[in-house]
Amino acid sequence: MLSFVLRRLASAVGTLFLSSVLVFLAVQALPGDVATQILGKDATPDAVAALRDQLGLDRPAWERYFDWIKGALHGDFGTSLVSGKGVGGEVAMYLGNSALIALVTVLFAVTGSLVLGILAGLYRDRWPDHLISTVSLIGMSVPEFVVATVLVLCFSVALPWFPAVVLYGPDASVGQLLPAVWLPALALAVVMAAYIVRMARTSVIDVMAGEYVTTARLKGLSTWRVVTRHALPSALLPTLHVIALNVAWLIGGVAVVENVFNYPGIGKLMLSSVQNRDLPIIQAIALVSAVVYVCCNLAADLGAMALNPRLRTRGRTR
């Protein structure tokens, strides 16, 4: 069991290392001179030279990579080319605001979609299933910006309950942001839930058709007990990984929604730094995304271990 956890940890670190190399390569290896890219075509040669010097572009790539990663490990991601402030602090501030949305989204989406997915699976081919499946199909088919726009139309314009746009900057307090969190979170939750609902449904149907569930039924157990004790632990296993992937997807998913609502989160920062070619910030965001992805998957694997005795008891012999 311990060896499984250790192996899983080692592989997570390996993936992170590879991702960081990819991020660095992708950003640095973009065609053309990075300094010219940033400053634009009509920058003076002096300015370009100064920027090259500031970025250390004359040194070999691997050296720059190790400098960057060493700094990153200490929380120092360099300085923003636009604001001149430390990248670490900047990203952390925006990330914190996004975390607020993410928290609400995950809470709603995961609980709601699991309940709906399991219901649909249990009522397979009957009206609750048809209803839930249809709604989730539509949820999957509509892009976030459409959901967001419709929500604004309904709950900001028609019924002025929530603000349509956020008027605060990134340093707003939680109290200031709280009223603005709900609509973006709802928009994200709709899209995210669709996938989890479908996964949970298929997985429940699969397990319910399994031999051991039949055996449990033929033991004369109540449906409730059969579902909760015998079916769900196994049915949740494959769902866990879909949840993890969806949670990791949030960090990219917020980009669109935050821009619709002008919410000062990581997605908005991502977009503005791409527009401004603020490379250190892009690198930092990409790295943070990779960390989130790896952590989510790790959590899913550990969760799977808790649910699956086969993984837990590995090494014990017959």
Partner 1 sequence: MTTSTPEGSPMHPIAPGDSPPPIVSVNSLSVAYRSGGRDVPVVHEVSLDVAKGRTLALVGESGSGKSTVAATLLGHLRHGSRITGGSVRVDGHDVFALPARELRRLRGGTVAMVGQNAGQALTPTMRIGRQIEEAGGTVPVADLLEQVRLPRPAELARRYPHELSGGQQQRVAIAMAIAARPKVLVLDEPTTGLDVVTQRGVLDLIAALRDELGLAAVLVSHDLGVVAHMADEVCVLKSGRVVETAATRQLFADPQDPYTKRLLASVPRLDDTGLAVVAESGEREVRPKVPVPEGSPVAVSAHDVTVDYGSSRAVDGVSFDVRRGEVVALVGESGSGKSTLAWTLAGLRTPSGGTMTHETGDLARPAHRRPLALRRRIQLVFQNADTSLNPRRSVGDAVRHPLRFFGTATGRTEATEQARRLITDVRLDPALAERLPAQLSGGQRQRIGIARALAGEPDVLIADEITTALDVSVQADVLRLLDDLRRERDLACLFISHDLAVVRGIADRVVVLRHGVVVEEGPTEAVFAAPGHPYTRQLMAAALEPDPDAQPYVDDTVDWADAADGDDIWTDPGDGGHRVRRWRSLNAPVAEGVS
Partner 2 sequence: MTTLDTTPAAVAPGPRAATRAWRTLRSSRTATVGLAIVAVHVLIALLAPLLTSYDPIANDASHALLGPSADHWAGTDQYGRDVLARVLYGGRYALGVSVTATLVTVALGTVVGCAAALRGGWFDDVLGRILDAVLSIPSILALLVVVTALGTGPAVIVLAIAVSYVPQVARVVRGAALAVVPMDYVTAARARGESTWSILRREVLPNITDVVCVEFAMRASWVVLLISSLSFLGFGADPPTPDWGLMVAENRTAITVVPMASLAPIIALATLVVGLNLAADGLSKAWGVDRIREGL
Residues at the interface with partner 1 (CB under 8 A): 209-222, 225, 229-230, 233-234, 307-310, 313, 316-318
Measure the CA–CA gap between 113 and 296, rounded to whole angstroms: 18
Q: Which is nearer to partner 2, 197 or 216 (CB)?
A: 197
79 bridge partner residues: 86
Per-residue contact string for residues 205-224; x = within reach of partner 2 by CB under 8 A: -x------------------
Question: Quick check: 279 and 57 in contact, CB under 8 A?
Answer: no
Q: How many residues bind partner 2 (CB under 8 A)?
A: 58
**Which of 286, 300, 301, 304 touches partner 2 by CB under 8 A?**
286
Report how far residue 185's alpha carbon sits from residue 265's, in angstroms, rounded to the nearest whole number.
12
Among partner 1, partner 2, none, residue 316 binds (CB under 5-8 Å by kind): partner 1
The residue among 52 and 124 lying less far from partner 1, judged by its C-beta, is 124
Q: How far apart are CA 242 and CA 1, in angstroms?
A: 23
Give the integer Cα–Cα distance in Å for 257 and 164. Answer: 12
Contact of residue 310 among partner 1, partner 2, none (CB under 5-8 Å per partner type): partner 1
Two tokens, residue 173: 């307090």
Q: Does 202 bind partner 2 (CB under 8 A)?
A: yes
What residue spans of the chain are helical by DSSP H?
2-28, 34-39, 45-55, 61-73, 87-122, 127-141, 144-152, 174-208, 211-218, 223-225, 232-261, 266-276, 279-307, 309-312
Does residue 277 belong to the site contacting partner 2 (CB under 8 A)?
Answer: yes
| 169 and 175 Cβ atoms separated by less than 8 Å | no
Give the one residue of 57, 92, 119, 142 binding partner 2; rule: CB under 8 A.
142
Applying CB under 8 A, the residues found at the interface with partner 2 are 11, 14-16, 18-19, 21-23, 26-27, 30-32, 37, 137-138, 140-146, 149, 153, 157, 195, 198-199, 202-203, 206, 238, 241-242, 245-246, 248-249, 251-253, 255-256, 259, 270-271, 274-275, 277, 282, 285-286, 289-290, 293-294
